[in-house]
Amino acid sequence: MYTIDLSGQVALVTGSSRGIGAAIAKELAAAGASVGINYRTNANAADQVIDEIRAAGGEALRVPGDVSDENSADAVVKTTADRLGRLDILVNNAGITRDRLVMRMNAEDWDEVLTVNLRGTFLPTRFAIPLMVRQRYGRIVNISSVVGLSGNPGQANYAASKAGQIGLAKAIAREVASRNITVNAVAPGFIELDGGGMTGELNDEQRGQVLSRVPAGRFGSAEEVASAVLYLVSPAASYITGQTLTIDGGMTA
Ligand code: NAP
């Protein structure tokens, strides 16, 4: 059987105290990577993820910090690399929504989402790249969204930030490809999370309407996003860079 082995590698997953980020962190740890667990506010949630990883025999480190703040992002990347010994994998997952129709959206709603989702992707990448260049190895994955490809009413700020993460990945992929560093994006569709998430806010009628647009006939799971990320960060995906992989049950096919 072929399995992906990340032992000896170090990963940083931003926003991994819950949801999709937590599933990605657990998946990378299960494959053998030591993982930096980043979050902004909820230390208890991060500790729970770390406990789970350690109970399964993996290694995880708590690296709190706002990834959209320059000094914090630098510290989060440096602490992960210093304490765990190197940095092979960066997953830019931290993200927020502030949904409103554009004619009611104020500049604050815009700035907050663009700052966390796009600046918060640029900064950790900016600080990780020199370490990866020195190692002549690296894997970066931005967690975008199908909304960044197709748009969605009420999410102009979010869609712009998610499309931005795709452009960012493409540009940086071209800058660092010769150094054995790949930069890709994944675009999840409707993902059902334990704590509810976006799909938890839908009533039965809305759920039915959404599902009628998904050929697979069901929502995706955080684990299904995590397994796609695991492939993209693995040595097996060495010739894939600047790409966006949709994980949406066929919705945008
Ligand atoms: P979530 O459950 O709301 O979790 C967000 C995570 O990001 C939390 O760990 C949060 O930590 C952290 N975070 C927020 N702002 C941060 C900041 N400035 N610095 C560091 N950490 C920060 O989110 P999710 O639904 O799993 O989504 C994760 C990613 O997948 C997002 O980029 C989202 O756009 C994308 N996505 C989600 C879906 C979906 O259906 N859920 C679909 C497509 C794409 P604290 O709580 O401590 O702040």
Decide: 67 in ligand 1 pocket, CB within 6 A: yes
Question: Ligand 1 centre and the CA of 173: distance in Å?
Answer: 23
Residue 103 scores a pLDDT above 90: yes
Residue percentage of the chain with pLDDT more than 70? 98
Write out the E strands in the chain: 10-13, 34-37, 59-62, 89-92, 138-143, 181-188, 191-192, 220-221, 244-247
Instruction: Specify the pLDDT at position 197.
Output: 67
Question: Ligand 1 centre and the CA of 1: distance in Å?
Answer: 33
Across the range 124-144, mean pLDDT stands at: 98
Task: Give, using CA atoms, the residue closest to atom 29 of ligand 1.
Answer: 93
Across the range 124-148, mean pLDDT stands at: 98
Across the range 163-170, mean pLDDT stands at: 98
> Ligand 1 atom closest to Cα of 162?
34
Instruction: Specify the pLDDT at position 166.
Output: 99
**Shortest CA distance to 6 belongs to which of 69, 45, 64, 53?**
53
DSSP for 164-204, please give it: HHHHHHHHHHHHHGGGTEEEEEEEE-SEEBTTBHHHHT--H
Instruction: Specify the pLDDT at position 204.
Output: 87
The pLDDT tens digits for 185-219 are 999 999 999 866 666 778 889 889 989 999 999 99
Decide: 125 in ligand 1 pocket, CB within 6 A: no
Instruction: Specify the pLDDT at position 82.
Output: 98
Instruction: Specify the pLDDT at position 176.
Output: 98
Residue 183 scores a pLDDT above 70: yes
Instruction: Specify the pLDDT at position 201.
Output: 75
Across the range 57-72, mean pLDDT stands at: 98
Instruction: Specify the pLDDT at position 135.
Output: 97
2: confidence class by pLDDT, cuts 50, 70, 90: confident
Please say whether the beta carbons of 189 and 249 come within 8 A: yes
Residue percentage of the chain with pLDDT more than 90? 93
Decide: 164 in ligand 1 pocket, CB within 6 A: no
Decide: 165 in ligand 1 pocket, CB within 6 A: no
Question: Ligand 1 centre and the CA of 68: distance in Å?
Answer: 13
Decide: 68 in ligand 1 pocket, CB within 6 A: yes
Decide: 96 in ligand 1 pocket, CB within 6 A: yes
As annotated, the active-site residues are 158
> Ligand 1 atom closest to Cα of 191?
40
The pair of three-digit structure tokens given for residue 120, joined into one six-digit string = 């918060």
Question: Ligand 1 centre and the CA of 4: distance in Å?
Answer: 25
The mean pLDDT value of the chain amounts to 96
